[in-house]
Amino acid sequence: MALPLPPGLTPPEIAFLCEMELVTIIPRQRLEGLKLLGGPTPPLTPPHRTNLPLWLALLLKRQKRANIAPPPWLSPSSLGEILDLETGLSTFSPPPNLSFKPLSSTSTSTPTPISPPFTPSSTASAPSDALPYHWLELGEILLEAAADDFDDPDAVRRLLRDLRDARMAKVRAMVEKLEAGGGVRIAGVGGMEVAEGRAFLGGVVDGLRKIEARREKEEDGGGSGDDDMDDL
Amino acid sequence: MGEVQFEGLVAMSSYYDIDSILTDAQKVPCTFELTVPGLGYIDGNLGQDMKQGTKVELPLWLGEMLAVSNNITLDNPSCLSPRVLNALKADPKTVDLRALAPHFYGLGARMLELYPYPDLIDTLSDTLKTRAAVIADQAHNPRGAIGEGADFLRGLDETERQLFRAAHDSAKGVRMWIAVQKKK
Q: What is the pLDDT of residues A168-195, one digit of tens each?
A: 888 888 888 777 776 777 777 888 888 8
Residue B135's pLDDT is 85
Average pLDDT, chain A: 78
Residue B163 covered by a domain: yes
Residue B155 covered by a domain: yes
CB contact (8 A) between residue A211 and residue B10? no
B47 pLDDT exceeds 50? Answer: yes
- Total of domains in chain B: 1
Residue A175 or B15, more confident: A175
Q: Which domain holds residue B90?
A: 77-183
- Total of domains in chain A: 1
Hey, is the C-beta of A210 within 8 angstroms of any chain B C-beta? yes
Residue A143 covered by a domain: yes
**A225 secondary structure, DSSP code:** G
Residue A224's pLDDT is 43
Beta partners for residue B5, in sequence order: B10
Hey, is the C-beta of A204 within 8 angstroms of any chain B C-beta? yes
Helices then strands (H, E): number in chain A?
8, 5
A6 pLDDT exceeds 70? Answer: no
Question: Is the interface score ipTM higher than 0.85?
Answer: no
A102 pLDDT exceeds 60? Answer: no
Probe site for chain B from A55, A200, A205 (most B CB atoms < 10 A): A200
Q: Which domain holds residue A156?
A: 11-174
Q: Which residues contact B67 (CB under 8 A, 6 or more apart)?
A: B30, B73, B74, B114
* CATH at residue A146: 3.40.5.50
CB contact (8 A) between residue B129 and residue A175? yes
Q: Which of A215-224, B99-108, B145-154, B168-177 has the lowest mean pLDDT?
A: A215-224
Q: Exposed/middle/buried for A156, CB within 10 Å: 0-12, 13-18, 19+?
A: buried
Nearest to A40 by CA among A55, A52, A25: A52
Residue B23 covered by a domain: no
Residues in A closer than 8 angstroms to B116, CB to CB, are 214, 218
* CATH at residue B174: 1.20.58.2050
Residue B146 covered by a domain: yes
Q: What confidence tier does A110 reach under pLDDT thresholds 50, 70, 90?
A: low
Rounded Cα distance, A134 and A123, in Å: 12
Residues in B closer than 8 angstroms to A204, CB to CB, are 128-129, 132, 163
Taking every pair of Cα atoms in chain A, the longest distance, rounded to a whole number of angstroms, is 71
Nearest-CA residue of chain A relative to B113? Answer: A214
Residue A138 covered by a domain: yes
Q: What percent of chain B is modeled with pLDDT above 70?
A: 88
Residue A204 covered by a domain: no
